């Protein structure tokens, strides 16, 4: 992995490149930001950069034996720590400390990457703090977390924090066209759903996402024709499949958001999905703003009730009886 292969995050990467060029790297970094946006890639690129055989100020070459070993987890001086089960345990930290006491084996620096660093348990955190307080001279520590507030403040304060922000929708869409060979329209759709995460954008199943939205659209247009008896019968069926219900609510919120955006801005470009645009546009044209807002409240309230373990059937009945009838 080299810095130039990472999508977006220019500012964070420039900070690291400047530190490399000025020989001013911190002993410990904390890469924070939501899951799947490229923190781990940046950590591997940094680990490769400090050990690259053709090192340049802008980072590693990505091709020399050292860079290749970093990528395949085969570099003897680059260690990656991941939770053992749910936690990072003290034995794992002790092993690292023993290794840090040795000189680099073949690289210039020992590098430790700790993924999901917030999962260090109390004993591991306290042991790790010792390493941060007296970092070995030629070691580089990179903590990765989506929950920096889950780390001990004393650990956090001893690291230089580099924040990774969600990728803008157009950056993500462009990258998805290139990397997944998607059409512009599909890429734009997936980029909205992935919420700034390249990892999520690469994994998302387009057909399944579209099918789920079509199901919601069919349900909504059907509901308008239904009497309360039919709506209650339908609620009973839907409530039996919790996952489907949650998905339906999630998509409902998303569609209503689109309808509200369209209603207020009249801009199709801002909407999530071209096919759903039709639905959102119809809703925006047919319903008043207070009515759209009331429906949005209804969906948000349904989600909260489900989170608080209120009966799925009650929540669904309430939703189907009230939706679009406010």
Q: Is 35 in the site for Zn ion (CB under 5 A)?
A: no
Which residue stretches of 114-197 are H helix? 122-133, 153-156, 169-180, 184-193
* Strand partners of residue 269: none
Q: How far is the CB of 47 from Zn ion (least distance, A)?
A: 11
C-alpha distances in Å from residue 194, one per residue of 70, 174, 191, 286: 28, 13, 5, 29
Q: Is 64 in the site for Zn ion (CB under 5 A)?
A: yes
Stretch of 65-73, 233-241, 281-289, 306-314 contacting Zn ion, by CB under 5 A: 65-73
Q: Is 296 in the site for Zn ion (CB under 5 A)?
A: no
Q: How far is the CB of 76 from Zn ion (least distance, A)?
A: 16
What is d(CA 40, CA 17) in angstroms, rounded to the nearest whole number?
16
User: Measured from the CB atom, is 50 or 245 closer to Zn ion?
Assistant: 50
What is d(CA 268, CA 273) in angstroms, rounded to the nearest whole number?
9
Report the 10 Å Cβ neighbour count for 273. Answer: 23
Q: Is 61 in the site for Zn ion (CB under 5 A)?
A: yes
User: Measured from the CB atom, is 64 or 152 closer to Zn ion?
Assistant: 64
Picking from 253, 248, 189, the residue whose alpha carbon sits closest to that of residue 214 is 248
**Six-digit token string for 300:** 């948000």
Q: How far is the CB of 61 from Zn ion (least distance, A)?
A: 4
- Among the listed residues 43, 67, 88, 312, the single contact to Zn ion using CB under 5 A: 67
CB 66 within 8 A of CB 54: no
What is d(CA 178, CA 175) in angstroms, rounded to the nearest whole number?
5
Site string for Zn ion, 227-256 (x = CB under 5 A): ------------------------------
Q: How far is the CB of 67 from Zn ion (least distance, A)?
A: 3
Q: How far is the CB of 9 from Zn ion (least distance, A)?
A: 20
Q: How far is the CB of 37 from Zn ion (least distance, A)?
A: 24
Q: How far is the CB of 60 from Zn ion (least distance, A)?
A: 4
User: How many residues make contact with Zn ion (CB under 5 A)?
Assistant: 5
Q: Is 111 in the site for Zn ion (CB under 5 A)?
A: no
What is d(CA 140, CA 136) in angstroms, rounded to the nearest whole number?
9
Q: Is 60 in the site for Zn ion (CB under 5 A)?
A: yes
What is d(CA 259, CA 283) in angstroms, rounded to the nearest whole number?
6
Stretch of 64-72, 139-147, 186-194, 270-278 contacting Zn ion, by CB under 5 A: 64-72
Q: Is 107 in the site for Zn ion (CB under 5 A)?
A: no
C-alpha distances in Å from residue 39, one per residue of 13, 80, 133: 10, 13, 24
Q: Is 52 in the site for Zn ion (CB under 5 A)?
A: yes
Q: Write the DSSP string, 247-311.
A: HHHHHHHHHHHHHHHHHHH--GGGSS-HHHHHHHHHHHHHS-HHHHHHHHHHHHHHHHHHHTT--
User: Measured from the CB atom, is 67 or 283 closer to Zn ion?
Assistant: 67
Q: Which residues bind Zn ion (CB under 5 A)?
A: 52, 60-61, 64, 67
């Amino acid at each position: 992995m080299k810095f130039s292969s990472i999508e977006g995050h220019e500012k964070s990467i420039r900070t690291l490149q400047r530190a490399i060029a000025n020989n001013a790297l911190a002993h410990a970094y904390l890469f924070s930001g939501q899951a799947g946006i490229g923190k781990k890639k940046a950590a591997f690129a940094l680990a490769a950069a400090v050990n690259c055989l053709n090192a340049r100020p802008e980072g590693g070459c990505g091709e020399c034996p050292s860079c290749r070993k970093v990528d395949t987890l085969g570099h003897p001086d680059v260690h990656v720590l991941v939770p053992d089960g749910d936690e990072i345990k003290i034995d794992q930290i002790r092993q690292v400390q023993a290794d840090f006491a040795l000189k680099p084996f073949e690289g210039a620096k020992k590098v430790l990457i700790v993924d999901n660093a917030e999962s260090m348990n109390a004993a591991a955190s306290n042991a790790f703090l010792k390493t941060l307080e007296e970092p070995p001279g030629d070691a580089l520590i990179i903590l990765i977390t989506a929950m920096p507030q889950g780390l001990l403040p004393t650990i956090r304060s001893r690291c230089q924090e580099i924040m990774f922000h969600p990728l803008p929708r157009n950056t993500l869409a462009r990258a998805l066209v290139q990397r997944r060979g998607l059409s512009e329209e599909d890429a734009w759709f997936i980029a909205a759903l992935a919420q700034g995460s390249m990892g999520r954008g690469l994994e998302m199943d387009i057909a399944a996402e579209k099918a789920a939205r079509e199901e919601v659209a069919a349900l909504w247009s059907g509901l308008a024709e239904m009497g309360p008896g039919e709506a209650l019968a339908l609620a009973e069926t839907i409530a039996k499949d919790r996952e489907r219900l949650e998905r339906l609510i999630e998509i409902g919120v998303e569609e209503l958001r689109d309808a509200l955006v369209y209603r207020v801005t009249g801009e199709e470009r801002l909407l999530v999905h071209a096919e759903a645009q039709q639905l959102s546009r119809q809703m925006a044209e047919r319903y008043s703003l207070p009515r759209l807002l009331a429906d949005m409240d209804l969906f948000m309230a349904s989600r909260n009730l489900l989170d608080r373990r209120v009966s799925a059937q009650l929540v669904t009945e309430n939703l189907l009886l009230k939706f679009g009838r406010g």
